[in-house]
Amino acid sequence: MDTLEKTDTFVCATYARQGKAFVSGSGMYLTDEDGQVFTDFLAGIAVCSLGHCHPEVTAAIREQAGRLVHVSNLFYTRPQADLAQALVENSFADQVFFGNSGAEANEAAIKLARRYFQRNNDMNRFQIITMTQSFHGRTLATLTATGQDKIKQGFYPLLPGFIHVPFNDIDALKTALDDTVCAVMMEPVQGEGGVIPADPEYLAQVRQLCDQTGTLLIFDEIQSGMGRCGTLFAHQGYGVTPDIMTLAKALGNGVPIGAMLATAEAAKGFEPGSHGSTFGGTPLATAAGLKTLALISDPGFLARVREKGLYFKEQLTELQSRHSRIKAVRGRGLLLGMDVGEGAGDVAAACFEKRFIINAIQDKVLRFAPPLIVETKDIDRLISVLDSLL
């Protein structure tokens, strides 16, 4: 059996895979089993933000793999301590919990928010407000938090304690925010939901409402964080700070790792035994995360991300002026979306035939999340292909 047949035979059919098997990657490019080279404008869904097999991250992984891979969280390790310190020093947070994925990071945030109040004997304050069209993961709690019905189909009954309100609608949030709510959980830029940025005024009002009611504010930056929107964390571009933030995807540049960051006050909700993860924060994953964070947090690197994101958005907007089926271009930094109405999946498939990897969401929006090392010449090549297909 070839790779495709063997995968379809022995791996659960939970993904609609493209008909190629990739064997190697370097920077912006992936090579399949037939030696064909593809230009990647998806980066493993915003994961390989420094490009595939970045030499400095690869060296950090190799060095750590030859030294120590795992000892469990019953013991201390230096890479975990160093990454936690680096995340704290680059953010609003005071403490970090490590898991293996975005879903685990969001599970930790949900549990911390509820437990923060229940440790203070406020047992009725357990509801969490999230946004319609949001995406927070595929565990039972995080898919319940997700504001898309299609993600929940077939998994009923869902967990109690989640309320969904329209995104960018402050009046709806005011109505729902009562004394049973422990947290508001949201993405500063909705990725899976259609690449929809929060309005700056709305985000500031959400923070104000949370302050007035003593509610914790959780930002899910699993897709939008780690430089993707042109600042190290997306909320830094808004000037609004959460109490809790979740990260994953680009944090390890391909090595599985998730992180939940919290203020010292919010972190009081956890104590020894209240939460854990067997593999979370291993020396291997945190060594990869430490090197990735050092490279992405460089101010010069982030300035170039903003420049390239602006250039990319300008080229997409220029396409919109020539093609009437393009309804909107939106996004921040290098997380961009182009609403083409119905048939976005067909456009993404046609791009794949021309060896460009992009993504379609909701079958109406093309999502672009290239490695942050993308160059304008790569953008120009993709624009030319899109121009021919639209």
Annotated binding site for N(2)-acetyl-L-ornithine: 138, 277
Q: What one-character-per-residue DSSP string does 98-153 give?
A: EESSHHHHHHHHHHHHHHHHHTTT-TT--EEEEETT----SSHHHHHHSS-HHHHT
Binding residues for pyridoxal 5'-phosphate: 102-103, 135, 220-223, 278
Contacts of residue 267, Cβ cutoff 8 Å, sequence gap at least 6: 94, 95, 112
DSSP string covering 228-260: TTSSSSGGGGTT---SEEEE-GGGGTTS--EEE
Which tokens go with 38?
Answer: 């593809």
**Residues 178 and 206 sit within 8 Å (Cβ to Cβ):** no
In the annotated binding site, the residues are 102-103, 135, 138, 220-223, 277-278
Is beta strand 95-99 parallel, antiparallel or unpaired with respect to 328-332?
Answer: unpaired
Which tokens is 64 given? 């750590």
Distance of alpha carbon 132 from alpha carbon 345, whole angstroms: 22
For 25, phi and psi rounded to 5 degrees? -145, 150
In single-letter form, the type of residue at position 72 comes to S
Both structure tokens of 62: 């190799």
Residue 187 is which amino acid?
Answer: E
Residue 52 DSSP one-character state: B
